[in-house]
Amino acid sequence: MKIPILLLLFFSAVARPDPRLANSSRTERAGWIYVHLQGPPRVIGYQDGYLLAPEIDDGIRMLKFYLGRTTHKDWNFYRDAARRMFWPKLTDEYKAEISGIAEGLRDRGMRYDSIDITALNGWMEIAYYYLPKLRRDLRMGRTENDAPGNCSAFIATGSYTSDGRIVMAHNCWTDYIIGERWNIIEDIVPEKGNRILMDAFPGFIHSGDDFAENSAGILVSETTITQFRGFDPRGIPEFERAREAEQYSNSIDDFVRIMTTGGNGGYANDWLVGDTKTNEIARVECGLNRHKVWRTRDGYFVGSNFPSDPAIINEETVFNPRDKYSSMNDRRLRWEALMREYKGKINADLAERFLGDHHDEVRNKNGADAYVICGHNDEDPRGVRQWGWSRYNPAGSVQAKVTTAALAAKMEFIARMGHPCGESFVAKRFFLAHPGYRWEGKFLHDMIAHPWTLFGGKN
């Protein structure tokens, strides 16, 4: 019996999958999608785009909708900005990886190009730094989307931890419509540089909310500097420098050099960095024209969107460090109280508890709102004036990660998808109580809190 040529071609394709996918894999667990990517840059990109095609497509479609509504600019604006400002600044390595992502998407039937993926990686820099600069330059005044402050984090070492070694933890704060999709864990083994384990938004070549560890023992986290005002379109995009630092840093000095060379001011952060080889930790505050570094082998650094360097505060932000009632300073005081109370005991279990903490240090009360480490702005009638968030805005903590020197030695970390306190966000119930947000219902779904789960391991 003769077999039709089309059937022969079909069976041949099934029997021989694309060789570029040979060293890659995708698994789903506890609300996370874990992908292993390995090879040269374009191959890593292809694996990323192919394995995460549905999630990348959904993420871009959501951003087109959400940014159009919240920033009043369509996706063509973001593409144009990415083409002009970002693409020419990328190294050949990351251009190849981004091109590979686009190619993987196309092989799954999705029509995106390298500029779409560049805009995706840099959308926060465009929306919250470049666009406000344009509006200020046109004398349109302060805009509500100026540099929002997202995330809560700490890193500790020496006499503060139970074994004297580094412990690092971070929870991501953002709008739930975005955060419910921030559920990718990427295990990347590149041709050059260090292996990376990080969380990420679909289609990112960097972490984005920034929690990563590498095979050289470097641990990286950050929280955003809120109310930051600087941006230079001629500079190197933050997402390029962040990925380079995650991949090529073998020391804290390497990290500082990469992150402070040629920066554009976009997504300005206070980075919390550790080196498990030396047991040293650092706080690296990156502005546009200024940066400052603090280092210790016995102490802690915390992050909740506050800057610390007086020069950066005065020259590059409109932040008020004396307003203890702001979410940023309130959470800072809570972090410092936790560090004092649990000095000498801090470990992974306590870090998980800290990230789900609901105590308001300034007002001395407990409850889920936008002024505690585990943020729940959707349950807060006050809103957060510093970020332009209105009352009951569906935003706050969306996931969390914890690592230690011992876990990092095995290229592992612990992660929880959903509010780190374990409370789930139920969209239908929220929309019934707050119908003014029903417009988000096209893309905003339930955000279920899953259990803390271990990811990673030796390759």
Measured CA distances, 20 to 46, 49, 68 (Å): 7, 12, 36
In whole angstroms, what is the distance from residue 237 CA to residue 239 CA? Answer: 6
Select from 122, 184, 142, 171 the least CA-distant residue to 355: 171
Query: 23-456 has which CATH code?
Result: 3.60.60.30
Q: Are 166 and 156 in contact (CB under 8 A)?
A: yes
| Token output for 339 | 């560090």
The residues spanned by each domain of the chain are 23-456
CA distance linking residue 373 with residue 382, whole number of Å:
17
Instruction: Write out the two tokens for 412.
Output: 């592992």
Cα 282–chain centre separation: 19
* Residue 203, number of CB atoms within 10 A of its CB: 27
The per-residue pLDDT string of the chain (459 residues; one tens digit each, 9 = 90 and over) reads 444 544 433 444 444 579 999 999 999 999 999 999 999 999 999 999 999 999 999 999 999 999 999 999 999 999 999 999 999 999 999 999 999 999 999 999 999 999 999 999 999 999 999 999 998 888 755 444 467 777 999 999 999 999 999 999 999 999 999 999 999 999 999 999 999 999 999 999 999 999 999 999 999 999 999 999 899 999 999 999 999 999 999 999 999 999 999 999 999 999 999 999 999 999 999 999 999 999 999 999 999 999 999 999 999 999 999 999 999 999 999 999 999 999 999 999 999 999 999 999 999 999 999 999 999 999 877 766 655 657 889 999 999 999 999 999 999 999 999 999 999 999 999 999 999 999 999 999 999 999 999 999 865
Reported in sequence order, the residue ranges of 124-163 that DSSP labels E, i.e. its strands, are 152-157
Q: What global pTM score does this model have?
A: 0.93
